[in-house]
Amino acid sequence: LSYFQSLRDKFHARPTLTAMFSSAAQQESDGMKASYNISFLIAKTGKPHTIGEELILPVVSEVLHTVLHKPATDIIKKIPLSNTTVQRRIDEMATDVIDTLYNYLRTVQFSLQLDESTLPEKEIPLTNLLAVATDGAPAMVGCHRGFIAYLKDSVPDVLAVHCVIHRQHLVAKHLTERLHCSLGYVIAAINKIRSIPLNDRLFSQLCEQNDKVFNGLLMHTEVRWLSKGACLSRFYELFETILKFFQNKEPSLRDGLKKCKSDIAYMADLFSKFNELNLQLQGSELNLIKTRSVISSFTSKLALFKRNPGRREFYQFPSVAALKENGEVHDDDIQIYCDHLDVLQKDTEERFQDILKMKIPNWVINPFSNTDEIEMELEEELIELQTNEELKPKFKNGYHSFWLQKQISDLYPGLWRMVRKFLLAFPSSYLVERGFSVVTDFLTKKEADVVIYDCSLPTLNPMYTD
């Protein structure tokens, strides 16, 4: 019996023409899928299309041969990654992503961070527009001729949000005359070193001789959000080395820097705090609720920053604290810093008053808690939601993912109309700025006529990838 069973198993295991064709077809399909997925990764990282043939395929071959001990030739042949193939794959995926996005926007409400001319061109109704985030330029927020004014003619109820990151940047630019002068010395010193290649090399050598962690300075620019904080922190880290460098080259600049050492320490500490705030206000998942928490927290921190130095406590300003212990910070300096912090706090409260005064109902954060803070016309829907046993387990992932479930807007349209502005409105133009950064990187580091592929920016995946 075992003999005949063995024959049967061999018969079923024999290679058939159908099985061979099926296996070959599956390998071809898998290779095609891998080609699309790799092309998608190339587009995402912004690498040249030739990297597929020049680097990725040789790497795959090496891994197969060295680690898996398998012949690589047959597998590599089934993954087309030539320059033109990668370009064609990316074009197809970019078109698919764009079509998917346009089809989606025709049926749902959304917030806006893109050029408004896109909407009529792709037949996306403006009535679906819920909110729009812009910078504070007159062309955007002008009362009569600004973009928002024209937009409200078509969508009167649209929520317009002045980008919170731009507002934070405006607050950070608020310096007293003395601090502005001290910052001028810093910028002059950086320009003296960085703008002349010989000085830059000599300064790097001097840093290495003094065993410094950094061997160069960062350039300061007004248009980059984190520039000032990073620039001042690096400058203060290398302060003694900078003085030594200018000892014979620029004695007047050296003397000016020595006089404003405490100011530079104060600004380095302060702008590191602004950088922390800036990073908290970035990201694609930010909403108005999180933004209000971040801004409210920073406003309270500014009051703390102002109060503690007045009591000669410098825990929040470690660089100033070290100078104070050495007797390099005087009472007049401390008063100037306290006055500056007071101005910053008031400026922050004024610029962000719409965010700070925004009332967020408790039931939005936790719809299953007992609350009386709800409009009468929404009370019945809230009771229905609170008694929905199927929804309760889904709240464990937080309010954001809970409210964005498709069934919420279907079952509780009144609650959703109240919640949607808090969750869907963009508090900043971060995504636009990130897109500009991608384009700038292409144009400056690659070549001026490079094509910017649409699938290098969005979070949607094309249908060719899993």
- Specify the pLDDT at position 217: 53
Same domain, 129 and 43: no
Indicate whether 319 belongs to any domain.
yes
Selection from 63-72, 108-117, 263-272, 428-437 with the highest mean pLDDT: 263-272
- The string of DSSP letters for 33-85 reads HHHHHHHHHHHHHT--TTHIIIIIHHHHHHHHHHTS----HHHHHTS---HHH
DSSP state of 111: E
Task: Identify the bridge partners of residue 110 per DSSP, sorted by sequence position.
Answer: 129
Whole-number pLDDT of residue 388: 92
- For residues 159 and 299, membership in a common domain is answered with no
Number of domains making up the chain: 4
Give the residue, 229 or 333, on which the prediction is more confident: 333
110 with 73, same domain: the answer is no
> Nearest 5°: phi and psi at 281?
-90, 0
What average pLDDT does the chain have?
78
pLDDT in tens, 347-362: 999 999 989 999 888 8
- Pair (151, 209) in one structural domain: no
- The per-residue pLDDT for range 299-349, each reduced to its tens digit, is 999 999 999 988 888 899 999 999 998 888 898 999 999 999 999 999 999
For residue 403, give its domain range: 362-424
Decide which of 68, 86, 104 is a domain's last residue. Answer: 86
- Residue 352 pLDDT: 92
The edge-to-edge listing of strands for the beta sheet with 110-112 is 110-112, 129-134, 159-162
Are 328 and 205 contained in the same domain?
A: yes
What average pLDDT does this structure show over 148-168?
81
Q: CB neighbours of 139 closer than 8 A, spacing ≥ 6?
A: 146, 147
Predicted pLDDT at 436: 63
Position 11 in a domain: no
Whether residue 8 is contained in a domain is answered as no
pTM: 0.67
Say whether both 281 and 402 belong to one domain.
no
Residue 212 maps to a domain: yes
When comparing pLDDT for 422 and 369, which is higher?
A: 422
Tokens of 9: 């198993």
Residues 256 and 300 in one domain: yes
Pairing of strands 159-162, 129-134: parallel
Taking residues 350-379, report their average pLDDT: 87
> For residues 325 and 432, which has the higher predicted lDDT (pLDDT)?
325
Question: What's the confidence (pLDDT) of residue 114?
Answer: 46
Handedness of CA 208, 206, 327, 306 (dihedral sign): negative
Q: Which pLDDT does position 222 carry in this prediction?
A: 45
Tell whether 351 and 229 lie within a shared domain: yes
For 436, half-sphere exposure in the C-beta direction (CA atoms, 13 angstrom radius) is 10
Report the range out of 122-136, 215-229, 247-261, 428-442 with the highest average pLDDT. 247-261
pLDDT digits (tens, 9 = 90+) for 77-97: 788 888 888 888 888 888 888
CB-CB neighbours of 153 under 10 Å: 7
Q: Does 287 share its domain with 183?
A: yes
Residues 212 and 333 in one domain: yes
- The reply to whether 235 and 325 lie within a common domain is yes
Under the banding of pLDDT at 50, 70 and 90, the label for residue 101 is: confident
- The reply to whether 312 and 254 lie within a common domain is yes
Residue 93 main-chain phi, psi, to 5 deg = -70, -35
User: In 249-383, where do the E strands start and end?
Assistant: none
For residue 121, being part of any structural domain is answered with yes
Residue 441 burial (C-beta neighbours within 10 Å; 0-12, 13-18, 19+):
exposed
CB distance 282 to 214 below 8 Å? no
pLDDT tier, 118 (very low <50, low <70, confident <90, very high otherwise): low
- Residue 305 falls inside a structural domain: yes
Is the Cα dihedral 417, 419, 423, 429 positive or negative? positive
Least confident of 2-6, 185-189, 450-454: 450-454
pLDDT per position as a tens digit, 193-209: 776 675 666 656 656 65
How far is Cα 34 from Cα 57, in angstroms, rounded to an integer? 11
- 372: helix, strand or coil: coil
Dihedral angle computed from the Cα positions of residues 439, 444, 447 and 452, in that order, rounded to the nearest 10 degrees: 0
CB 43 within 8 A of CB 93: yes
Compute the average pLDDT of residues 163-172: 83
Percentage of the chain with pLDDT > 70? 74
Confidence of residue 460 (pLDDT cuts 50, 70, 90): low
Query: Would residue 194 count as lying in a domain?
Result: yes
Q: How confident is the model at residue 210 (pLDDT cuts 50, 70, 90)?
A: low
Q: 38 pLDDT band (50/70/90 cuts)?
A: confident
Least confident range of 222-231, 322-331, 447-456:
447-456
| Residue 37: predicted pLDDT | 87
Residue 45 has pLDDT above 70, yes or no: yes
pLDDT of 278 reads 87
Q: Is 275 inside any structural domain? A: yes
390-413 pLDDT, tens digit per residue, is 998 999 888 999 998 889 989 999
Whether 136 and 162 have beta carbons less than 8 Å apart is answered as yes
